[in-house]
Amino acid sequence: MKETTEDVMRAEYLAFVGRVSASLSHEIKNTLAIIGETSGLIGDLLEYSPPPPDWDTFPRFKELLSSIAGQVNRSVTIVTRLNRFAHSMDDPVVSLELNELLQDINNLAQRFANLKEVRLKTHLSNGRLTVQTDPFRLQQVVFGFIDRGLQTAPKDSSVTITSGQTDGLAQIVITDEGPPQAESINRQVSAPQATFEETEGKNGVALSVLGLIAAQLGGSIEAEDLKPRGNRITIRVPLESQ
């Protein structure tokens, strides 16, 4: 597909957002490193200079330091995810391992699933699935359908991300247990242009936009109803040619 001025401007915009986000996450990590080392030093000092035996809050101090260390590690994991996400905006086309990208999206979407009280699960293929694509746009499509599934799935149900390949195409399947809506989804993802009217709810996604992005990536989207309830969304994108 020929790049238009709008495409180039959008790529530059994303690269700018990505660069600033990556820089900020780097700074947060540096701050976390200082917090981690400082609490570690306090722990070391307590260890190397044992307190008087009558200091009965000593175990509590150690417990609190351990809690700080745990929260620092958790924050580092979150910031690392943010950093990887930000770097996905760096280049419009890269060669990437699809299962790693899906695992990242799964991690990013877990909080949304928790808020909806829905389980978000992955069943990723064992083999490598290498695709040459725009990582940010592919994440946008996959996340959009996970989000749609979470919005419509009943409490305590599951949304599952599965990966595989068929006929030279990588396949990402997102299943949910919400009301069957395949006909509506297929109509929207094949719409010739995007409209904001199709946005599902306040924070939802315009499925027509996801369909257009998938087409720009050389891929396709297909929805099927599941019996008695649920939807299976299959996103196909070309595997990297050998």
Partner 1 sequence: MKKLSVLLVDDREEFVTTLAERLMLHGMEVETANNGEDALGILKEKAIDVAVLDVIMPGMGGLEILERIKNTHPDIQVILLTGHGSTKEGIEGMHLGAFDFLMKPVDLEELIAKMKTSVQGTHKE
- Taking the complex as a whole, the smallest distance from the CB of residue 53 to partner 1 amounts, in Å, to 22
Structure tokens of 224?
């099927």
Q: Which is nearer to partner 1, 82 or 182 (CB)?
A: 82
40 binds partner 1 (CB under 8 A): yes
Q: Which is nearer to partner 1, 108 or 226 (CB)?
A: 108
Are 237 and 131 within 8 A, CB to CB? yes
Residues 64-103 that bind partner 1 (CB under 8 A): 72, 76, 80, 83-84, 87
Give the binding range for partner 1 (CB under 8 A) out of 22-30, 128-136, 157-165, 233-241: 22-30
What sign does the CA torsion over 196, 201, 204, 207 have?
negative
What sign does the CA torsion over 19, 23, 24, 29 have?
positive
Phi/psi of residue 77, nearest 5 degrees: -60, -45
**C-alpha to C-alpha distance for 101 and 170, rounded to whole angstroms:** 13
- How many Cα neighbours within 13 Å face the side chain of 183? 0
Q: Would you call 68 exposed, middle or buried from its count of C-beta atoms within 10 A (0-12, 13-18, 19+)?
A: middle
Q: Which is nearer to partner 1, 61 or 158 (CB)?
A: 61
Give the binding range for partner 1 (CB under 8 A) out of 33-41, 52-60, 169-177, 206-214: 33-41
Are 210 and 141 within 8 A, CB to CB? yes
Structure tokens of 33?
């490193």
- Taking the complex as a whole, the smallest distance from the CB of residue 36 to partner 1 amounts, in Å, to 4
User: Under rule CB under 8 A, how many of the chain's residues touch partner 1?
Assistant: 22
**C-alpha to C-alpha distance for 118 and 96, rounded to whole angstroms:** 29
- Taking the complex as a whole, the smallest distance from the CB of residue 44 to partner 1 amounts, in Å, to 5
Q: Which is nearer to partner 1, 25 or 188 (CB)?
A: 25
154: DSSP letter:
P
Q: Single out the residue of 11, 14, 32, 129 in contact with partner 1 (rule: CB under 8 A).
A: 32
Q: Which is nearer to partner 1, 80 or 220 (CB)?
A: 80
| Distance from the Cα of residue 178 to its chain's centroid | 21
Q: Single out the residue of 20, 41, 183, 240 in contact with partner 1 (rule: CB under 8 A).
A: 41
Residue among 179, 189, 177 at smallest CA distance from 223: 189
62 binds partner 1 (CB under 8 A): no
Q: Which is nearer to partner 1, 42 or 226 (CB)?
A: 42
Binding site for partner 1 (CB under 8 A): 22, 25-26, 29-30, 32-34, 36-38, 40-41, 44-45, 48, 72, 76, 80, 83-84, 87
